[in-house]
Amino acid sequence: MPSHPLASFEAFWPYYLAQHRLRKNRALHYVGTISASLALLYALLSAQWLALLLVPLAGYGPAWAGHFLIEKNRPATFRYPLWSLVADYKMCFLALQGRMVAELSRQLGRGASVQGEAGR
pLDDT tens, N- to C-terminus, the chain (120 residues):
666 789 999 999 999 999 999 999 999 999 999 999 999 999 999 999 999 999 999 999 999 999 999 999 999 999 999 999 999 999 999 999 999 999 999 999 865 666 666 534
Comparing C-alpha atoms, which of 120, 96, 107 is closest to residue 21? 107
76 within a domain of the structure (yes/no):
yes
Can you give the pTM of this predicted structure? 0.87
100 within a domain of the structure (yes/no):
yes
Q: What is the distance between the alpha carbons of residues 113 and 101, in angstroms, rounded to a whole number? A: 11
Question: What's the total number of domains in the chain?
Answer: 1
User: How many C-beta atoms surround the C-beta of residue 1 within 10 A?
Assistant: 13
120 within a domain of the structure (yes/no):
no
Residue 120 has what pLDDT? 40
Q: State whether residue 62 is helix, strand or coil.
A: helix
4 within a domain of the structure (yes/no):
no
Residue 113 has what pLDDT? 64
Q: Which residues contact 83 (CB under 8 A, 6 or more apart)?
A: 6, 9, 12, 16, 76
Residue 1 has what pLDDT? 60
Residue 80 has what pLDDT? 95
Tell me if 90 sits within 8 A of 22, measured CB to CB.
no
Helices (H), the chain: 9-18, 23-46, 54-65, 81-96, 100-108
3 within a domain of the structure (yes/no):
no
119 within a domain of the structure (yes/no):
no
Find the domain containing 61 and state its range. Answer: 10-108
Residue 116 has what pLDDT? 66
